Amino acid sequence: MIEIPPRDPLTQPQGVEEGYAHTRMRWPAEPLQKRPHTVSELSGPLLSPHALARRIAPVRGGTQDPSGSKRTDPSRGDLAGHGERRAIGQLIHLRTRIVDEDGTPVPGTVVELWHCNAAGKYIHPNDQSTSPADPNFYGAARLVADENGLIELRTIKPAAYAVPDTGGWWRPPHVHISVWGRVWLSRLVTQMFFPGEPLNEYDYILNAVRDPQARSRGIARLAPTGGGPADALVFEHEIVVRGRKAAPSL
Amino acid sequence: MPRIPTSEMTLGPFFPREFAQGANDLTIAADGAPAGAVRGEVIEITGRVVQADGAPLDNLVLEIWQANAEGRYDDPAFFGWGRAATDANGVYRFRTIRPGAPAGRAPHVNFVILFSGLMRHLQTVMFFEDAENGADPVLNAVQPPERRRLLVAKKRNGTFTFDIRLRGEGETPFFGD
């Protein structure tokens, strides 16, 4: 059995953030309720990684090769494209490992990643930014972690962009990441940031995390450039989903 | 080595539409399961999601996790997980199997709500108005007791309506875990 320890208020955002106006309209005013955890909250979809990949992973940039015709390894994705279809921007590889609170890898978990293009534009129709779309860039991939809890994504580095109607809030370059985790209560949605970005210091979302060490764990590490692919910068990152092995009952 | 969970952050406004497409029908059998493997009464769950000023929320993401018709979470034919996004009127829709009662619980559907302006996701639970809910330990944990009715979906024909208000008058109870 798995257990889910309570959230640490220093390492998790608390709801309403002064600089982020939507939070005052959307975060509940009432205190969150406490409840016992039963099998319902401590279970999750049971499918094997390959069955999961077949059922939910076939989106562009996910388990398909660049031609979109045949499935490749579900733990590896490619949003950057090749040759004449190569997206514009700095080529990067993300290596993200998913572990639980014991540090044990979580193989077979679904990982969804999305980010804007090298001009700061998302593929989403609700993005009203006047920045140009890139016809060779589709910014969404759905992967399934391999036996070591690892996913790898070849993509381009997203740009910073201004958040409309906020009087000068710029989002630093970031990648949105959604992880299912082992059970329902280990569901995690987060964002990954890049090292050395001056905007990291001012971002209302990153800085909603009060503990500086927790913030720095949200920033990927640039891997040594000597050992990686010749044409891409490699960024490494660890994601910890909630849950640890329950202590045996006495 | 023990680790501290990664800090949660908002979904933002641009969750790819493709990630929600086709995921709101839980009656589709898991891959490899024979046709008709998903047993039970087919129902629809629908509702409208609004914020503090009553405005409906577009492209908000809801995910559900539920037991099969026998109240079990280990049915290889029944996926049990679904995702829907709201439309411009704030309305979401799931097609699923009516869950049975898991051991010690009333029949229920777990909800996660993800959206821009939510620094981390919200958890809530839907119950069925025509079921025996009095002994459910999660429903009974909601305080004050007057708020429990806000988690009970109304039935009309085969459709259960579960409206969600994120904040303000009639605010839906959410769980902190």
ipTM comes to 0.95
Q: Is residue B84 part of a domain?
A: yes
**What are chain A's domains?**
6-245 (2.60.130.10)
Cα-to-chain-centroid distance, residue A109: 13
Q: Is there a domain that residue B170 lies in? A: no
Q: Does A130 touch chain B (CB under 8 A)?
A: no
- Name which of B6, B38, B79, B110 to mutate to probe chain A: the one with the most chain A Cβ atoms within 10 A of its Cβ: B6
| Chain A residues touching residue B67 (CB < 8 angstroms) | 40
Residue A136 CB neighbours (<10 A): 18
Which residue in B102, B141, B147 is closest to A36 by CB distance?
B141
pLDDT in tens, chain B (177 residues): 899 999 999 999 999 988 888 789 999 876 666 767 789 999 999 999 999 999 999 999 999 999 999 999 988 888 899 999 999 999 999 999 999 999 999 999 999 999 999 999 999 999 999 999 999 999 999 999 999 999 999 999 889 999 999 999 999 999 998
> Torsions phi, psi of A239, nearest 5?
-115, 130
Measured between alpha carbons, how far is B92 from B89 in angstroms, rounded to an integer? 9
pLDDT at residue B28, rounded to an integer: 83
Assigned domain for B12 exists: no
Query: What is the domain-level CATH number for residue B113?
Result: 2.60.130.10
CA distance A175 to A196: 15
A30, A33, A98, A204: best to mutate for the B interface, most B CBs within 10 A = A33
- 3-class DSSP state for residue B147? helix
Residue B11 lies in a domain: no
> Which DSSP string do the residues of B7-72 spell out, in sequence order?
PP----S---GGGTTTTTBTTSPPTTSPTT-S-S-EEEEEEEEE-TTS-B-TT-EEEEEE--TTS-
- Asked if residue B106 belongs to a domain, the reply is yes
Q: Is A196 on the interface with B (CB under 8 A)?
A: no
Q: Which domain holds residue B47?
A: 17-165
Helix intervals (H) in chain A: 22-26, 49-56, 212-217
- Total domains, chain B: 1
CB contact under 8 A, A26 and B59: no
- B145 within domain boundaries: yes
Query: In chain A, which residues have their Cβ closer than 8 Å to the Cβ of B108?
Result: 40
Interacting residues of B3 by C-beta distance below 8 A, sequence separation 6+: A99, A100, A101, A102, A103, A238, A240
SS3 A115: coil
